[in-house]
Amino acid sequence: MHTPDFSLQKSTTVRSLQPRDGGAAPGAHWLVRHWPRLAALVLAELFVAPRQRVEPFEPPPGAGLEVVYAGKRHLRVHLLGQGPLVLLLHDWQSGCSQLARFAQGLASAGLRVALFDMPAHGQAPGLTSDLNEFLDTTAQVATQLGPIHGLLGHGLGGLTALLCAARGLDAAGVVAIAPEPSFELTVRRFARAHGARGQAEELLMRRLEQRVGLTRRDASLSEITPALPALIVHDVLDRRVAIRHSRQLTSGWRSARLMETCGLGHRRILDAPPVIHFSANFLRGFPAPRSC
């Protein structure tokens, strides 16, 4: 039997595809591979620019309208129903039209609902926006329309609602639906979608901290304790924001409750009658402000 002599054969070197050139993933854009600092500047501007707008909100008969000035911008705030006032905050690249069914459900339950498009979303003017502007806009709307009974937010709006509550916004309770757990996670998800990893990813994170005016600790739900009773609603099949984040948060928050759904994902959860009903009952369970 002939035994092959492997010592006479040439060896083959197998190299794994690892991120290189400043932390770029294989297939990343050439700018990320060769000039990660310049790429961080470009990606930071892309990050704060919504790439799509949803259909405008069509108010039902009898809805009111207020014009609120948020900085140099004016926002059209739609008001539905009668009772204690609840602010509805939409997700990134979303708009108040996607909260229309939720608003009508809360109004039917005896709450007064205010919903509006954040800057650079829906019908609101502007080309760029960010989490800090979401926070400032919410605070200014609450100040001009108050007193506020509750906050309800979805996605980035959920993160906004919980951070506003932690910052001392005067309200009775807050509902966060599939909230983004932190500004940092949102940035890193965006970075990796564009092939930026390692050094390039960290450069983008630091650039956006400067651009937005928030540090990663300032805008992380794991770093806060809600000052208000909170209801977190999350679907186990949510592909955008994994439910494990909400489970980790509520396990350490004594004043928070977690409602889990199945099969509604990140978007359909806003139209589910059980979610609307449960959220309305949660908010109605608190005494209304005296001046309401």
Is the predicted pLDDT of residue 165 greater than 80, yes or no? yes
H helices of the chain, in order, are: 30-34, 36-47, 100-108, 131-145, 156-166, 183-193, 199-212, 243-252, 273-284
Architecture of domain 29-51+62-284: 3-Layer(aba) Sandwich (3.40)
pLDDT digits (tens, 9 = 90+) for 131-162: 999 999 999 999 999 899 999 999 999 999 99
Domain limits, the chain: 29-51+62-284
Q: Give mean pLDDT, residues 101-110.
A: 96
Of 92, 121, 120, which Cα lies nearest the Cα of 240? Answer: 92
pLDDT digits (tens, 9 = 90+) for 178-188: 999 999 999 99
Is the predicted pLDDT of residue 10 greater than 50, yes or no? no
What value does the mean pLDDT of the chain take?
A: 88
Q: Give mean pLDDT, residues 90-99.
A: 97
Task: Using alpha carbons, list the distances in angstroms from residue 113 to 48, 138, 261.
Answer: 28, 14, 24
Give the whole-number percent of the chain exceeding pLDDT 90: 70
Say how far apart CA 199 and CA 123 lie, in whole Å.
Answer: 37
Find out whether 219 and 183 touch, Cβ atoms under 8 Å.
yes
pLDDT digits (tens, 9 = 90+) for 212-250: 999 999 999 999 887 789 999 999 999 999 999 999 999
